[in-house]
Amino acid sequence: MADQKTMTQTEVRADGVTYLLAQDQDLGELKRRIEDAIATAGRFVDFVVVSNRQVSLLVTPRSQVSIAVATVLFDARDTGDVEFPYGGHYDLL
């Protein structure tokens, strides 16, 4: 079991909805964009989640956002490439 590869998984929770970030997402940059959006009346913040799908999240001064980081088993499909999404109704794995 010591041979198993791991990766860092970042969870963003916004107003009760959880998003797991794709591996190539820059967490520092995302935090800055969320902070910038909160400083306005509201702004969409875009990021890519696990399964290589893009999310546009409307962040306002009333939004509640938390971020958690954990180590999980490696998933080679998690590339952040929105041209090759995976998961959904037809992914039986």
In whole angstroms, give the CA distance from residue 3 to residue 19.
Answer: 28
pLDDT, tens digit (0-9, with 9 covering 90-100), for 16-65: 999 999 988 999 999 999 999 999 999 999 999 988 899 999 999 999 99
**Enclosing domain of residue 54:** 6-73
Note whether residue 14 is domain-resident: yes
Does residue 31 sit within a domain? yes
SS3 at position 91: coil
| 46, part of any domain | yes
Residue 90 counted as domain residue: no
DSSP 9-78: EEEEEETTEEEEBPTT--HHHHHHHHHHHHTSS-EEEEEEETTTEEEEEEE-TT--EEEEEEEEE--TT-
Q: Tell me whether residue 87 is in a domain.
A: no
Q: Is residue 92 part of a domain?
A: no
Residue of higher predicted confidence among 84 and 59: 59
Q: Give the pLDDT confidence of 10-24 residue by residue, as tens digits.
A: 999 999 999 999 988
86 in a structural domain: no
In the chain, the number of structural domains is 1
pTM of the model: 0.79
Q: Could you tell me if residue 81 is inside a domain? A: no
pLDDT at 93 over 50: no
